[in-house]
Amino acid sequence: MDSATTALRLIDRNPGLAAAELLKHLAPPPQFASASLENYVPDPAHPSQAEAVEAVRRFADGVPDAPATGLAGLFRRKAPVVVDKPGIYLDGGFGVGKTHLLAALWHRTSGRKYFGTFIEYTALVGALGYAHAVEALSGARLIAIDEFELDDPGDTMVMSRLLGQLVAGGTRIAATSNTPPHALGEGRFAAQDFLREITALADRFDIFRIDGDDYRKRDIEGHAVALDEGAFTDRMRLETARGTATVDDFAAVLHHLSSVHPSRYIGLIDGLTAIGLRDVAVLRNQTDALRLVALVDRLYDAQIRIVATGVPLDRIFTEDMLSGGYRKKYLRAVSRMIALTTA
């Protein structure tokens, strides 16, 4: 029997994650599970990388311990280092190690803490409602935000308001920029945009610019792999034999994503090792495109392989999309789909 036709279907999955489960997933992705300041290797040609490591170290050491009482407080060896500002922002191009440093900071911080992309936090607010999201995150010692996005004014202002309330309650914030892969010459550094968009919080952040080359050195001319039907069937037979895979029509997946809140996409792909997409086509609807971007981010974090037929996945966004306000999101998704179809 054809394993590709008897595989599970993504469209049959309907995750319903409670608030506690959503928060549980706010942690560094698997590839950064052991990230530390010690195993980040600065490029000697770019001194700002070593400077960023020390900045993160100072910020981490400045996260105060929970107040000690009794003998524990009396015999504390040394007071924690005090830093002036409750926020740190790592600004730089793609592939210079910002996410590694952010994850290292998260690992270095004790107590309740959260790590997620900008999209994950805005999705959390959408799923729980603003007031419940504030309640859920309040009291955390650290909120780490990877790829802080500035292309949706509404989301940016919601996050600015949320972070303002959390900082007022004593939470520290660490964020990175989201300069896209291969966005040559178009605003490599985003610090000024970041500060402008979070005007109420701008004076709460220390900004550190990280120069460098993309350590992954991805081929700008590379393309996502698209298979013919025979090769697709053979590949999915292999994927279902060595892990847990799904096979769906591309159009059916897009329709299903419209019925699942983006905050629950992590549950949609939980436990999978690969997904198969038949008859991939160029996207004409921006809402579908943005939902797919959110799914690709989750697939990439979990390193779930994509096997596809039809139009190569790096060519599914129209020229209007790639030149519009969500260009950064689409370019990031293109890079990630190339990586996941060639894994």
Q: How many residues does the chain have?
A: 343
At 138, the pLDDT band (50, 70, 90 cuts) reads very high
**CB–CB of 158/130 below 8 Å?**
yes
* Higher per-residue pLDDT: 69 or 86: 86
Share of the chain above pLDDT 70, in %: 80
Q: What is d(CA 114, CA 284) in angstroms, rounded to the nearest whole number?
A: 35
Each residue's pLDDT tens digit, 44-69: 999 999 999 999 999 998 754 443 44
* Higher per-residue pLDDT: 264 or 145: 145
CATH of 19-210, one of 3.40.50.10310, 1.20.140.70, 3.40.50.300, 3.30.365.10: 3.40.50.300
Task: Dig out the tokens for 77 from the structure.
Answer: 């060896």
CATH of 3-17+218-341, one of 3.40.50, 1.10.3210, 3.30.1330, 3.30.530: 3.40.50
**CB–CB of 98/176 below 8 Å?**
yes
Each residue's pLDDT tens digit, 322-339: 998 888 889 889 988 999
Q: What is d(CA 266, CA 256) in angstroms, rounded to the nearest whole number?
A: 14
Q: Residue 317's CB: how many other CB atoms inside 10 A?
A: 23
Tell me the whole-structure pTM to 2 decimals. 0.73
Query: Residue 260 to residues 15, 113, 131, 268: CA-CA distances in angstroms?
Result: 8, 26, 21, 8
* Higher per-residue pLDDT: 193 or 90: 90
Report domain extents, the chain: 3-17+218-341, 19-210
Helix (H) or strand (E) holding 49: helix 47-61
Examine domains 3-17+218-341 and 19-210 and report if their fold is the same. yes
Helices (H) and strands (E) in the chain, counts: 15, 8
Buried b or exposed e, range 210-235, using 16+ CB within 10 angstroms: bbbeeeeeeeeeeebbbbeeeebbeb
